[in-house]
Amino acid sequence: MNKSGIFSLPVRVYFQDTDAGGVVYHANYLNFMERARTEWLRTHGYSNAGLMKEFGVVFVVRSLKLDYLKPALLDDMLGVTVQIKEIGRSRISLLQTVRRRHGVALKVGNPLSGKPDVELTPEQSGREPTQSHDTHGGRASAEVSEGLRKEEVMVEAEVHLVSVSIESFKPVSVPEVLRNQWKDQMAWK
């Protein structure tokens, strides 16, 4: 999470995320955003299971508004963001975006062979999945150079969550420990 209070999760677009034309299927953006919210919650010390166990609450989506601006494509590297807009007694409003990252270099190497890593530029790795896969027994990892990063917004969303009891599914107060962390985070703005 950066000082502006924006959390970003890197997500690679896989074949399973796309339609027959290699374009991300519209509903999969919701999955990307759900993953980002889950990991964002973890940065505040709680998993969904932990919230249920410790506080007897879970956050559910009450409503959302999505604007699809540009299509994400097979093998794109995306950044999915989460930022707090507003906190109420039992609700929280978030702003989320899905952005295409440019300037992301993939390092591909075989740690067992002793051969150096090979850096693939976006042009080299862009939509050629064979170059970003584990083809030589090594691991691929994404590294972002701040100076090279250019991002295009693909989707913008406003998501309204409600804290509900796991027993009754009726609204309950957001756990105080999270409310305090999130209010501090909002103070960064």
User: CA-to-CA distance for 42 and 80, rounded, in angstroms?
Assistant: 15
- Residue whose token pair is 């090979």: 118
3-class SS at 35? helix
DSSP secondary structure string for all residues of 80-114 = EEEEEEEE-SSEEEEEEEEEEEESEEEEEE-TTTT
Residue 102 Cα to chain centre, angstroms = 16
Residues recognised as catalytic: 19
Pick from 73, 96, 80, 78: which is nearest to 160 by CA?
A: 96
Q: Which amino acid is at 19?
A: D
3-class SS at 186? helix
C-alpha pair distances (Å), 87 with each of 6, 99, 126, 171, 174: 15, 25, 39, 14, 9
